[in-house]
Amino acid sequence: MSPGPGAASAPAPDHRATSTSLFSSLKVRNYRIFFLGGTVSNTGTWMQRIAQDWLIHTLTGSAAAVGITMALQFLPMLLFGLYGGVLADRLDKRKLLLCTQSAMGLTGLALAALTLSGQVNEYHVYALAFVLGLVTVVDNPARQTFVHDMVGPHLLRNAISLNSANFQSARIVGPAVAGVMISAVGSGWAFLFNGLSFLAPITALLLMRTAELNSVERAPRGKGQLRAGLRYVGSRPELFWPIVLVTFVGTFGFNFPIWLVAFTDQIFQADAGTYGLLNTLMAIGSLAGALLAAKRGSSRMRFTVLVAGLFGVLLMTAAAAPFFLVFAALMVPIGLVGMTFIITANTSLQLASSPEMRGRVISLFMMVFVGSTPIGGPLLGWVTDAFGARVGLLTGGLFCAASALTVALILARLGGLRVRIDPRRGRHAVRFVPRDADAGTPDAAPPGPGVPQAAGPTAEGAAPAEEAGKAESTGEPAGGTGAGRAPHSRSTTPRE
C-alpha cells in the first residue's frame, strides 16, 4: 500500500468543485483513507463509551458517578483547551495526530487489562478518563482542522458532515455490539477492541501523500497567542455568538450518558441491551442529520439558533414521555437536531476563521462544548439522582430552549430589531422588524452593518460579517460562491 512513485513531489490537486454531491470529499485520496481509518476507530470509540458508562454505573450504582467520569474526561479540555489549539496552529497536524491517536489507543488497552484481570475499580476508570481527556486537548483541534488541510475550503462543509456521518454510523453499530458484548462476556473485551482499533487511523496517517495536503500558513511561536485568539473571537460576531450558544447547549443539553442510564435503570427497569438500543436510535437520527448537512447549502446564524431551541423542546418532550416506545422514538429526532446543531456551528466557525487562527477558534469551540461537561455532568447528575430522571432531562431541555431564545433576542436587539406579534399574519404571526418601523410596515429592513443578519429570523441573505469571515477563509470576495456553514458527538463527540 505504498503511496506510489513520485507522490512526494506531486502537486496538491485542486479540489474546487462547481457543485457538491453527497460524497464529493471521498474523491480526495488522503481524505478517503482518513475516512476509512476513522470508521474502524469510531466503532471502537462508541463501544468503549457504552462499556465505560455501564461499568462505572455497575461499580457505584450512581448516575452522579457517570457524571463524574464524564467530568474528568472533559475537564482537561476546559482547563487547557486553548493550548491544544495553539499547538494545532503551530505544528504539523499529521505528525501531531500520529502521537495523539497512539496515546488514545494505549488508554483503551490499559482499561482492558484492568477489567479483564478483575482488578478494576472506579478510581482506575476516573484516572484513565482524565488521561484520555489530556490527550483529547491536542487531538480534537488538530483532527478538526486537519480536515481543511486534506480537502480545502470548498469541500470543508461536505467533509465535516461526512466525518459526522461516519461517526454516527459507528454509533449505530458500536452501542449495539457493546450491549451484546457486555451482557455476554463483560466490558473488558469492548475496551480491548477499542484499543486495537486505533491501528486503523494510525495506518491511514502513515499512508497519506503529504504533498497533496493543502498548504496552510502556521502560526509562529510567540507570546500572547492565547489572548490573541480570544480577542479575535470576541471581535467577530459571526464567531462570538455561535460559541456563546454552544456553551449553554453543551453544558446542559448533551448529557445523554447520565439521562439514558437513569431512564434505563430507574424508569424502564431494563439492562445494558436497552441502554445500547437507545444510543443506537439516537445515532440513527444523528446520521440522518449529518447526511442532510452534507447536502445542505450555506446556513445562517438564525438557523443555528432555531435548531438549538428545537433541540431543547425535544428534550423536554422526551422527559414527559409516558411509555418506553414513545421515549425510544424521540431519540431519533433528538439525534437529528442535535447533530445538525453541532455541524452547523463547527463548519461556520471554521469557514469564518483565518487559517492562522483556525486551530484556536476550534479549540475554543471544543473547550466550551466538550469542556462544559465538568460543569454540566456533575450538576445534571446530581439533579437526576436527587429528583429523578425525568426532572434531570427536563432541566437540560429548559436551559437549551431558554438560551436559544435569549441569544435570539440579544441578536435582534443588536441588529436594531424588535418582535412584532400579529396573529392575522398566519404562520408569520411572530416577526422581527426594525425598532422604528411603522405599525403597518410588513417587512423588516436589514440590520445595521457589522451585525449578524441572523438576528432577524425572517431576514434574507447571509450576514455581512459572516460573508467577510468566509471571504477571509476561502479567498473569495464577500457574497461569493464558496462553501458556507455547518457534532459526537462529544467526540466524535456528540460530543465529538
| DSSP letter for each residue of 124-168 | HHHHHHHHHHHHHHHHHHHHHHHHHHHH-GGGHHHHHHHHHHHHH
2 or 319: which leads in pLDDT:
319
Read off the pLDDT of residues 171-222 as tens digits, 9 standing for 90 and up.
Answer: 778 878 888 888 888 889 999 999 999 999 999 999 999 888 887 766 666 6
Most confident of the following: 113-122, 144-153, 163-172, 211-220: 113-122
pTM: predicted TM-score of the whole model, two decimal places = 0.66
In the beta sheet, which residues pair with residue 430? 421
In the beta sheet, which residues pair with residue 432? 419
Q: How far apart are CA 496 and CA 162, in angstroms?
A: 13
- Does residue 95 have a pLDDT over 50? yes
**Structure confidence at residue 97 (pLDDT):** 95
- Does residue 335 have a pLDDT over 70? yes
Q: How far apart are CA 37 and CA 48, in angstroms?
A: 17
- Alpha helices, DSSP H only, in 185-255? 188-197, 199-207, 225-234, 237-252
- Does residue 342 have a pLDDT over 50? yes
- Give the CA distances from residue 79 to residues 128, 253, 430, in Å, rounded to whole numbers and listed in that order: 17, 21, 41
Read off the pLDDT of residues 396-419 as tens digits, 9 standing for 90 and up.
Answer: 999 999 999 998 888 787 777 666
Q: How far apart are CA 292 and CA 338, in angstroms?
A: 13
**Structure confidence at residue 43 (pLDDT):** 92
Coil, strand or helix: which one is 300?
coil
Average pLDDT on 68-95 reads 85
